[in-house]
Amino acid sequence: MNSEQTKKTDREHVIYSWSVQGKVNPIAIDRAEGIYMYTPEGKRITDFISGLICVNVGHRHPHVLKAMREQMEKLTYISPSFTSEAKAKLCSMIAEVTPGDLDYVFLCNGGSDANENAIKTARWFTGRHKIYSAWVSYHGATAGAITLTGDPRRWPAEPGIPGVVKYFGPYPYRCPFGSEDPEECAKRTLNVLKTQIMIDGPKTIAAIFMESIVGTNGIIIPPKSYVKGIKEICEDNGILLVVDEVMAGWGRTGKWFGIEHFDVVPDIMTTAKGLTSGYVQLGAMIWNKKIWDYFYDKPFASGLTYTGHTLACAAGIANIEIYKNEKLVEKTEELGKYFTERLNCLKDKHPSIGDVRNMGLWACIELVADRKTKAPIAGYNDCNCNISSEITKRCLDMGLYTYCKWDFIFLAPPLVITKQQLDESIDVIDKALDFPDTIVRK
């Protein structure tokens, strides 16, 4: 089918996530390879957001396809009560690259599932009920995960599951407690959290959830002192630290996992996306040894039909082999430095850019109407206007797909991107930024 035929059939039957159904106008994609996607008519589009921040090893990588074909010839699925070579090997390989004693892996369907199981684990392990999660965060769309989420995506799901309490994390560019200095912002944020916990009752709190680096709410990179302070709060009060690495994991930030930038090892880590680069859905909840020891002689009362799906495990094994053999984590760290330089050049050129934030190949451009006052253009949840759709359209017209939301332009190319391809893509962003520049207050 050509694009129009595909879209006609699609719009007669397909429900789209996070969308007004009558306004959906999808682009048909026929095939993809590396960092590029192609329409049925052959138009090439650069995938500068890695699918949905997941296709880390690029589209149609031959090593992943070969591993999946070979696994399909042998075994695609078995009941979770059985084991397989693929499941055992993948969990062992995950344990090899996770920090500290995070060696015990529960495989599930994706990031939301991983966070759901982390909620249950924390409550069972501690015997406590409350779960702390940050404002300006995203943890998934299932019942518990969307309650953890601290952005407007949770509003239609409210009141959500009971026992979830919100706290403010640091946002150095827009500190919730009025500081212009990142370290001072971290200090004030921690002090407020300590007071909140004291008033709420530390012995009632099972876990603090946090993204190591805030993802689709702005790529907000916390000061190391803040993350270490959170870990200290948890240790002092018998609270588990759960770190969500669904987006930040698997080389995206120039480390295997984002939390490694902060020299902290959580009690539980959740991950997905880059684990298989989206070739097959797979997520993981990973425990440290003290939690493993607790459940060694107690039931872990959770399970899913597709836990340890054999074909997904084969895809995961192949991805980890690519990260290692092609040194993608190290390459991302190095190319990320150049990426940051290019982004700072954009900031110098375009008055609509208030801030740029990047770690590895994971960046956000934050737009403002007034750089001096930091007044937004679109505002939180597009409360002022909607500019993201126009920016997205302009990029697509020039053959580049990325993700824009509110005043944020997110940039997260596949980790296999070359320096030349990165330059070509940033040149497109450069041209697209001419639009928000027209809105800046003179």
| Predicted local confidence at residue 442, as pLDDT | 57
Domain holding 35: CATH number?
3.90.1150.10
| Predicted local confidence at residue 149, as pLDDT | 97
| Predicted local confidence at residue 347, as pLDDT | 97
**For residue range 142-151, what is the model confidence (pLDDT) as tens digits?**
999 999 999 9
Of the residues 308, 325, 342, the one at which a domain ends: 325
How far apart are alpha carbons 60 and 47 in whole angstroms?
Answer: 13
Whether residues 121 and 42 share a domain: the answer is no
At residue 243, the 3 state secondary structure works out as: strand
In a domain, 442, yes or no: no
In a domain, 237, yes or no: yes
Residue 441 has pLDDT above 80, yes or no: no
In a domain, 27, yes or no: yes
In a domain, 22, yes or no: yes
Whether residues 137 and 26 share a domain: the answer is no
Residue 425 has pLDDT above 70, yes or no: yes
Whether residues 313 and 379 share a domain: the answer is no
Average confidence (pLDDT) over 378-405: 95
CA 334 to chain centre: 21
| Predicted local confidence at residue 277, as pLDDT | 98
Of the residues 325, 358, 375, the one at which a domain ends: 325
Weakest mean pLDDT among 24-28, 47-51, 242-246, 399-403: 24-28
Residue 160 buriedness (CB in 10 A; 0-12 / 13-18 / 19+):
middle
How many domains is the chain built from?
A: 2
CB-based contacts of 366, cutoff 8 Å, min separation 6: 173, 218, 353, 354, 355, 356, 357, 407, 408
- Distances in Å between the Cα of 226 and the Cα atoms of 187, 231, 235, 251, 262 are 7, 9, 14, 22, 9
- Which letter does DSSP use for residue 239 in this model? P
Residue with tokens 């809105």: 439
Please provide residue 286's backbone torsions phi and psi, each rounded to the nearest 5 degrees.
Answer: -120, 125
Whether residues 302 and 423 share a domain: the answer is no
**For residue range 253-269, what is the model confidence (pLDDT) as tens digits?**
999 999 999 999 999 99
| Predicted local confidence at residue 417, as pLDDT | 98
- Distances in Å between the Cα of 114 and the Cα atoms of 26, 131, 140, 318, 320 are 29, 15, 9, 21, 19
| Predicted local confidence at residue 426, as pLDDT | 98
Our CA dihedral for 125, 129, 133, 135, rounded to 10 degrees, sits at 180
Average confidence (pLDDT) over 57-63: 98
In a domain, 415, yes or no: yes
Structure tokens at 377: 């253009």
Whether residues 193 and 267 share a domain: the answer is yes
Weakest mean pLDDT among 9-23, 46-60, 200-214, 286-300: 9-23
- Domain, as residue range, for 81: 63-325
Residue 375 has pLDDT above 70, yes or no: yes
Whether residues 165 and 191 share a domain: the answer is yes
How far apart are alpha carbons 23 and 25 in whole angstroms?
Answer: 6
Whether residues 123 and 29 share a domain: the answer is no
In a domain, 276, yes or no: yes
Residue 80 buriedness (CB in 10 A; 0-12 / 13-18 / 19+):
middle
In a domain, 228, yes or no: yes
Q: Calculate what percentage of the chain has a pLDDT beyond 90.
A: 97
Whether residues 149 and 41 share a domain: the answer is no
Average pLDDT of the chain is 96
| Predicted local confidence at residue 327, as pLDDT | 98
| Predicted local confidence at residue 440, as pLDDT | 84
Whether residues 181 and 310 share a domain: the answer is yes
Whether residues 18 and 120 share a domain: the answer is no
Average confidence (pLDDT) over 176-191: 96
Beta bridge partners of 36: 33, 46
Residue 29 has pLDDT above 80, yes or no: yes
How far apart are alpha carbons 42 and 33 in whole angstroms?
Answer: 13
Whether residues 102 and 52 share a domain: the answer is no
pLDDT band at 1 (very low <50, low <70, confident <90, very high): confident
How far apart are alpha carbons 115 and 427 in whole angstroms?
Answer: 37
Contact in structure between 299 and 291 (CB atoms under 8 Å): no
Residue 30 has pLDDT above 80, yes or no: yes
pTM of the entire structure? Answer: 0.95
